[in-house]
Structure formats: C-alpha cells, structure tokens
Amino acid sequence: MARTIIDKLWDDHLVANLDNGTSLLYIDRVFLHERTGSVTLKELAAAKRRVRDPGQVFCTMDHIVDTFPGRGDATRMPGGTEFITQTRAAAQAAGITLFDIGDERQGIVHVVSPEQGIALPGVTLVCPDSHTCTLGGLGALAWGIGSTEAEHALATKTLVVRRPRSMRINFTGRLAPGVGAKDLIMALIGAHTASGGVGYVIEFAGEAIRALPVEGRLTLCNMGVEFGAWTVIIAPDDTVYEYVQGRPYAPRGEVLERAIDYWRGLPSDADARFDKEIALDCSRLAPQVSWGTSPQHETGIDGVVPDPAGEADANRRQSMERAQAYMGLQPGTPLAGLPIQGAFIGSCTNSRLSDLRAAAEVLKGRKVASGVRAICVPGSTQVKRAAEREGLDKVFLEAGFEWRESGCSMCFYAGGESFGFEERVVSSTNRNFENRQGPHTRTHIASPVTVAASAIAGRLADARSIAG
Amino acid sequence: MEQFTSITAIAAPLLRINIDTDAIIPSREMRTVGKTGLARGMFAGWRYKAPGSREENPDFILNREPYRQARILLSGANFGCGSSREHAVWALHEWGIRSIIAPSFGAIFASNCVRNGILPVVLDNAIVESLARHVQADPAKHLLTVSLVDCTVSTVAGERHGFTIPPADREMLLEGLDAIAVTLKRDDEIRAFQERDRQRRPWIYL
Ligand code: SF4
C-alpha cells in the first residue's frame, strides 16, 4: 500500500500497537531546556526513575539565561537563577549532555539541535517545548510535549501517541524576491486560522518548499504549532543531506551512506493518500506582518488593519476587536508607516546565519531611526561566531543594533526585560500574543528583513522599497 | 495520577478564542522549579489590575462570585494553544479547575490536562455558547455536571450533551494510571525494538 512520509516514520518507530487506539512509539532523541526541562528532571529523580539512554538526551540553557555580554547565572527573570542551577545539577546527575552557559555549542534549543546534527531526517525527537516542530524542516518527526510526557520519554524511550489525521499542503509557484519562509507560513495561518491545523500532522510540499534552503524550511516548520498542527514535516532531499554532513552528532562515512539510503525511502509515495489536502499559491505573496494578538491576525505589508465588521463569525470578530484595542489600532489604517519603538531579530524562528545575513544586507550603511531600540540576538553561540567571522556584528552595531549573546531573550517576557508598556515592536519571532514580549507590549511579527527595514524607517516598512 | 470520574460544579464562561498558555500562566509567574505555587499567577495579565500587582481586576470573571468557586471553564476554540508549558495545567488545577469545555484545544495542552486529572471536553461552539447562557442566568444554581463515566455534560434543567474522548485518555483519567509504570511493563518489547533497530539505523545509537 502506498504510504505517506508520516506512515513510514510511524511504522519505523512502532514498538507496539496498544489496544486503546494508541501507538507506543520509539523516541530517538529528547532535548530539554532549563525552563521546562528542570522540572522534568527533578520530578523524574523524585520518582526514583532514571534516564534510560542518557547518550541520546541533550539539554541547553536558552529560555531564561541573560543575553547581555559577560553573562553568568544571574538573570532578570524572577527566580530564574534557580532554574539554571537546578537544571545544571540535574543534567549532571542524569548524565545527559548539557550545552551550558559558556559552552560554544549553547543556543536556542531548536537552533542547536539541527546545528549539532542531533535532529536528523527520519528521527523522532521530542522536547517539552511547543516549537519542536521546527525540526520537521529536516524531515524529522518532532513535536512538543509537556513536562510529564517528557518524563515518560526519558524513562521509557517511548511515548504513547494517538495518531493524528494527515494533511498535505501544497505550496505552488515560486516566491517573489524579498519574500521568504516567514512570509509563507504567516500567509498560511492568515488564510486558514491559528486552529487550521488542529488534529493534523502536516506535510509541507510543493515547488516553493523544494526551493527553500534548510534554514528556510526550519523557519517555515517553526510556526507549524502556530497553525495548531500536532506537528509538521518536509520530506528530506539532497539539500538536507548536504546540510547534515559533518555535523558533530550526524553519521559519517559508510554509516552516512547507509543513512542517506534509508532517508531516500522516506518521502511520501506518489499515490499516497492524505486525509486532507490544501494548496497555497506563493507566487503573488507580499512580505507579511501581523496586526493583532494571534498569528492569524496578519496581512501583507501593503495591507491595512481589517475591519471586524466585515467578519461574519462572531468569535473571530470579537477576537479582532479585542486585538485591535490591545494593539492601539483602528480598522483601515495602513500597516506600512506605523511608527515603532522597538525592533527585535532573534528567536528559533529567525535567528540563523541566513536570517542575519539577509537583515545585514538591508542594514549595511544605514542607521536605525532615532527613538527605536533595536536588538539582535543570534540563535546560537555558533551562529554568533560565524556571523562575527563575516563581520555581520559590525554591520548590526554600526547600524545601531545591540549585539547580544544567544538565547530566547525578548522572544518572550522572561520577567525583567521588555521593550515597554504599549511600545510597538516589530519582531522576527513567532508569537504576537498579549503580553508575550512584556506587559502590554504591542508585537508585530514579520521576517528579519522586514524588521531590519522597519528599524531603519522607524515605522513598519517594506524592505523591497528601500533595498538596492 | 489523580482520577477523574464526574463532577457537578459552578462553570465559568470565558468565551474567547485562542486563549494561549502564556495568558493562562505568564512566564514571569513561573518562579520556582516545581508544579506548585502557580495558582496565584493564573491568568495574571487579566486577573490583576497592573503587571506584577495583585490588585484584582473586578471585571475579570474569576474574580467575581460565585465564579470564584468555579470548577469548570467554558471557553472558545483552540483553548491552551501556544507554549507547551505544563505549568498552565498545574496552575488551573491548583486554582480548582477540573474540567474545561471548548470547541477545540491546543494539542499539547489537552494531553497535559489528561496527565494531571483535568478533563478536556470537546463540544460544538453552539453548545458551549448555549451552556454559557444557561449558566449565566443563575451561576450559583445552574451547575453543570461533567461525567466521564457516560461521557456527557448535563445541566440542572435536564439538558444533556454527549461528547467523545479518545479511549486511552478516558482510561487514563478514570483509572488515574501511572503511565510510566504501565509502559515499563513492555520493557521486553522496547528492548527487542532497539535490537532490531540498531541493525537498521545504527546512526541513531549515539
Ligand atoms: S526563541 Fe522563543 S519560541 Fe523559540 S524556544 Fe525560545 S522562547 Fe520559545
């Protein structure tokens, strides 16, 4: 029978079919971070259980570590130091690999995981973090779980999973210049809502996907959870095999060849059936920007704040009204031109080397507008070093950006650091929820080039209008 | 793990869509490494007048009587979307919530609920709204009963709505099972899988 990539990965990780309609799936890798991993390790130890295969478990410090240069265990997050020190102690006791503060491999979990070759095509990988779906970009079956489920994965090497329905989304056509993976995923969520993927495991396919480099695929898959999907995946191909080679935990030599042989068998068979298929034409997309407090509240940068009166669904209408009150916006206002006070480039969505390069292209020889606080936080220490080798740090600093140590930083309000009350921020992150970036901070999510262009203009701006 | 069989309690309608886990428990309210001490921070951004303050916002439903005694939440679609933080469930549980009725849930959140003795009930939006209207007419008297035994939500007026829940989730809640202990009974199967798999995918075994 013809199988989808999801069928194949399910079959290959199936330990047992349980009689209550669930599957016991083998989990190849577990990744933890100090925010939610700390409690996982602590509870596991309290239950007198051990990590079954510590060699396949990794942990990083990213969520609440400080990102100012010269950082240590102190952090602005209330009680944060306790999370850091307890994670360190628990990780050591459990014998798992920790990418600690000061380690050259430290960084945001979903940036480090592909970078180190921990996430690979065809693996099952879980992490108590909702953006674990990012790794679908490599062809991994990776999803976010809670801390209690993470204990289960650590203690048993398995999870009990109910198989979601399958969906394939065909991204047809090619992206126009200046439009990238971030714009693509935002447009999808805008068109099909933040719950459009609820109950599904989704394969992203089509011409526009094949053309994306690995880092773009990671960006696209990162926001799969913002679409409500159980997880998302892109079939691996030569682009991915090339990316994987030479990474510290990736196979090499003869084993790599065997792995690639195996990976080549993973893409969905030509006649495989999905429970649902939809398509999105990419060729006419403009850069996207959010105007509200849900990722579905978004439109093209050339668009206007929509009028809730035009929304037939009462729930959605109320959510729009509430969002516009929070964001301080009126229907009909053009998005391009809205004055901003903050600009943030960072997060597991858009803080990899290609993101920084693209933003630096826009920033080169230009200055951040006065009155705008602009911050760049590379996704990992390795990304930071690579960017510095290319001189990108100088471009950011000369333009007036802060250049930080790696971590999640202002992607979320870790307690102390925020742009400020009612400040309007353009951000390369994935969530524009109320208070996500700080009390009453007004977040507009967008691509790194849109953030860079807006930082220079001092208002939301289309990078294509200032490029060249 | 705590069991869930059936409850009859005050229900609080919080009919917004896409209520995310950042809203349920803001990051700054997760102050210690553990599952407790979170109830005070639940919905902090809506429940208190200013960030960091503990001065109650009287407009927020859970600050009003009799909703302070609510054990059931009625909500809009995609409840618990966003961050995987299980703290959201721990906070709701510690505050007193035992069941949430909504048209849909964030996947990780729903799974976290089941592992902590909270029953997520999926019902059509129109039914959730009609339950909300019924409750609001007299919240102290119009209690809702959520039964996992016969998978129904019923009102004191005799209205009954059946719901479906995956059998595994129902079993886990009804029996309050220790999921790890259950799985470890299959240790032989896990070992056998590993042995086969090591031949097929040696690169996995670091
Ligand atoms: S960068 Fe933001 S979204 Fe990504 S893992 Fe960190 S806090 Fe979560």
* pLDDT (mean) for A36-65: 95
Contact between A418 and B26 (Cβ < 8 Å): no
Is residue A77 within 6 Å of ligand 1 at its C-beta?
Answer: no
Pick from A58, A133, A148 the residue to mutate for testing the B interface (most B CBs within 10 Å): A148
B-chain residues near A83 (CB < 8 A): 33
Q: Whose CA is nearest to atom 1 of ligand 1?
A: A347
| Residue indicated by tokens 């009799």 | B66
Name every chain B residue with its beta carbon within 8 A of the beta carbon of A308: none
pLDDT tens-digit readout, B38-92: 999 999 999 999 878 899 999 999 999 999 999 999 999 999 999 999 999 999 9
Helix (H) or strand (E) holding A263: helix A253-264
Check B201 against A22: CB less than 8 A apart: no
Condensed to tens digits (0 to 9), the pLDDT of residues B125-154 reads: 999 999 999 999 999 999 999 999 999 999
What's the pTM? Answer: 0.96
**Whether A20 contacts chain B with CB within 8 A:** yes
Domain B6-164 sits in which CATH superfamily?
A: Aconitase, domain 4 (3.20.19.10)
**Residues of chain A positioned with their CB less than 8 A from the CB of B82:** 130, 225, 431, 433
Interface of A with B in 319-348 (CB under 8 A): 319, 322
User: Closest Cα partner for A77 from A38, A106, A45?
Assistant: A38
CA of A431 to the centre of ligand 1 (A): 9
Question: Which DSSP helix (H) or strand (E) runs through A373?
Answer: strand A373-376
Structure tokens at B6: 């059936």
Position A414 pLDDT exceeds 80: no
Express as a percent the part of chain A with pLDDT over 90: 95
Asked whether B10 and B143 are in contact (CB, 8 A), the reply is yes
Contact of B90 with B96, CB cutoff 8 Å: no
pLDDT in tens, A71-109: 999 998 888 999 999 999 999 999 999 999 999 999 999
Give B81's contacts in chain A (Cβ within 8 Å): 194-195, 225, 228
Domains in chain A, start-ordered, CATH in brackets?
5-163 (3.30.499.10), 303-466 (3.30.499.10)
| Ligand 1 pocket check for A64: Cβ under 6 Å | no
Q: From residue B143, how far is each of A372, B9, B136 by CA, in Å? A: 52, 5, 10
- Number of helices followed by number of strands (H, E) in chain B: 8, 8
pLDDT tens-digit readout, A446-455: 999 999 999 9
Backbone phi, then psi, for A170, in 5-degree steps? -95, 115
Residue B50's pLDDT is what? 86
Helix (H/G/I), strand (E/B), else coil: A430? coil
CA A271/CA A451 separation, integer angstroms: 41
Ligand 1 touching residue A452 (CB < 6 A): no
Q: Is the CB of A408 under 6 A from ligand 1?
A: yes
Contact B115 A146 (CB under 8 A): yes
pLDDT for A415 equals 62
Contact B86 A440 (CB under 8 A): no
Picking from B22, B28, B205, the nearest residue to A433 by CB comes out as B22
The Å distance, Cα A188 to ligand 1 centre, comes to 21
Count of all residues that appear for chain A in the document: 468
Does ligand 1 have an atom closer than 6 angstroms to the CB of A108? yes
Asked if the model's pLDDT at residue A468 lies above 70, the reply is no
In the predicted structure, residue A467 carries a pLDDT above the cut 70? no
CB contact under 8 A, B86 and A148: yes
CA–CA separation, A429 and A446 (whole Å): 7
CA distance B71 to B87: 18
Contact pairs from chain A to chain B, CB under 8 Å? 195
First-to-final CA distance of chain B: 33
Regarding the beta carbon of A436 and ligand 1, being less than 6 Å apart is answered no
Q: What pLDDT is attached to residue B141?
A: 97
Instruction: Confirm or reject contact between B198 and chain A (CB < 8 A).
Output: no
DSSP-derived pairing of the beta strands A23-26 and A158-161 = antiparallel
- Residues A287-334 pLDDT 10s: 999 999 999 999 999 999 999 999 999 989 999 999 999 999 999 999
**What is the b/e burial string over A27-38, where b = at least 16 CB atoms within 10 angstroms of the residue's CB?**
bbbbbbbbbbbb
Query: Residue A202: CA atoms inside 13 Å, Cβ hemisphere, count?
Result: 34
Q: Which residue's CA lies nearest to atom 5 of ligand 1?
A: A348
Task: Compare CB distances from A28 to B22, B179, B204 and report the shortest one's residue.
Answer: B204
Contacts for A302 with CB less than 8 Å, ≥ 6 apart: A286, A335, A336, A462
Q: Give the number of the atom of ligand 1 that is nearest the alpha carbon of residue A412.
A: 7
DSSP state of B43: T
CA within 13 Å, CB half, A193:
14
A141 bridge partner residues: A124
Report the C-alpha gap between A465 and A301 in whole angstroms: 11
- Amino acid symbol at A221: C
Q: Please tell me the distance between residue A283's alpha carbon and the centre of ligand 1 in angstroms.
A: 30
According to the model, what pLDDT value does residue A20 have? 85
Q: How far is the alpha carbon of B55 from chain A, nearest alpha carbon, in Å?
A: 15
A175 and A284 Cβ atoms separated by less than 8 Å: no
A433 CA: distance to closest CA in chain B (Å): 8
**C-alpha span between A407 and A351 (Å, rounded):** 10
Nearest partner of B22 among A290, A84, A35, judged by Cα: A35
Check if A404 has its Cβ closer than 6 Å to any atom of ligand 1.
Answer: no
- Cα of B23 vs centre of ligand 1, distance in Å, is 16
Tens digits of per-residue pLDDT, A212-242? 999 999 999 999 999 999 999 999 999 999 9
Token code pair at residue A351 = 């803080």
For ligand 1, atom 7, which residue shows the shortest CA distance? Answer: A408
Which one, of A153, A129, A135, lies nearest residue A13 by Cα? A153
Pairing verdict, β B144-147 and B6-9: antiparallel
Alpha-carbon distance B204 to A118, whole Å?
9
Identify whether the C-beta of residue A451 lies closer than 8 Å to the C-beta of residue A424: no
**Could you state, in order of their start, the residue ranges of all structural domains in chain B?**
6-164, 176-206
Residue A16: its chain B contacts at CB < 8 A? 186, 189
pLDDT tens per residue across span B163-194? 999 999 999 999 998 999 999 999 999 999 99
Q: How many CB atoms lie within 10 A of CB A439?
A: 18
Report CB contact under 8 Å: A414, B111.
no
- For residue A246, what pLDDT band results from cuts at 50, 70 and 90? very high
pLDDT of residue B53: 87
Q: Which of residues 56-85 of A touch B (CB under 8 A)?
A: 56, 77-79, 82-83
Q: Is the CB of A131 under 6 A from ligand 1?
A: yes
Q: Are A275 and A197 in contact (CB under 8 A)?
A: no
Band of residue A278 on the pLDDT scale cut at 50, 70, 90: very high
Handedness of CA A52, A58, A64, A68 (dihedral sign): positive
Q: Provide the shortest C-alpha distance from residue A306 to chain B (in Å).
A: 18
Coil, helix or strand for A87?
helix
Which residue type, as a one-letter code, is found at position A430?
N
- Rounded to the nearest integer, the mean pLDDT of chain A is 96
Nearest by Cα to B94 from B57, B158, B40, B142: B40
Q: Is A394 exposed, middle or buried (0-12, 13-18, 19+ CB in 10 A)?
A: middle
Q: List own/partner pairs for A159-163 with CB under 8 A and 24 or more apart.
A: A159/A24, A159/A25, A159/A27, A159/A126, A160/A18, A160/A22, A160/A23, A160/A24, A160/A25, A160/B168, A160/B179, A160/B183, A161/A22, A161/A23, A161/A25, A162/A21, A162/A22, A162/A23, A162/B166, A162/B168, A163/A10, A163/A22, A163/A23, A163/A201
Q: Which residue in chain A has the smallest CA separation from B201?
A: A259
